[in-house]
Structure 1
């Protein structure tokens, strides 16, 4: 199953990861292997996008913590994972790729409203 693209501009696209927690992934359209391979201006835009997503997640979901990851070993191209973490998720405080500790007990607000807020903010605060 392909992940849902919730936003796209000429530089980036953002996918929803299928998971029990709010989890978005930021991709560059051009498949740069490393962050250092990206032009400096594009790296700055990437962090603008990251900052917006993190801020929207913090305010909408009120998580215990925001996790950011960029392993890119299996998919060897720049992409950033942004995850809202909760004490009640199945893995907390472990990483989502770690050992499951419990069954999740989450009651999260509607993700469609979150996506709309992210798209609205990205459309109005980033350079296209």
Structure 2
């Protein structure tokens, strides 16, 4: 990891920082249409997963799998969408979106389908109260 690491301006604009995992910063996309989280490895000048060293790749996979499992348990989704596109924001970031058969874009991708709907303060507080304790409990067991 780099001391020079900075979160890309697009991610700062569209997401809320929640927690630091061993490799990645966990973000919540400020879009209440979906439970939508993003892992951003704190490694400078990386655009794609293959650019991480082997240990970082393994750590990212571990963090992604852990996050996916917890989110599906908490939200009881139909499908977990995990993607690292990077076509708009070049900094490596991995989306984790809990999808439901009844969500507004199902079964299509979420990108550009509907405008982002920001969380209210109350919604954000409830979501953090649901997700963060579950993640912190798992992280302290490791």
Structure 2 length normalisation: TM-score?
0.74
Return the offset for 1:56.
0.4
- What is the CA RMSD across the aligned residues, in angstroms? 1.9
CA contact (8 A) 1:27 1:80 kept: yes
Q: Which has the higher helix share?
A: 2
Q: Displacement, 1:64?
A: 0.5
After TM superposition, list the pairs within 5 Å mapping 1:75-90 onto structure 2.
Answer: 75-90=89-104
The answer to whether residue 82 in structure 2 is matched with residue 68 in structure 1 is: yes
In the alignment, is the contact (CA less than 8 A) between 2:26 and 2:39 conserved in 1? yes
Query: Displacement, 1:89?
Result: 0.9
How far residue 99 of structure 1 moved from its aligned partner, in angstroms, is: 3.9
Report runs of 4+ in structure 1 exceeding 2 Å deviation: 122-125
Q: 1:17 aligns with which of 29, 32, 41?
A: 29
| Alignment partners' CA distance in 2, 1:3 and 1:53 | 17
Q: Which runs of 5+ in 2 are unaligned?
A: 1-12, 115-122
Q: How many residues align?
A: 117
Q: Does 1:122 align with 2:139?
A: yes
Aligned to 1:104: none
Gaps of at least 5 residues in structure 1 are: 101-107
What's the TM-score, normalizing by structure 1?
0.81
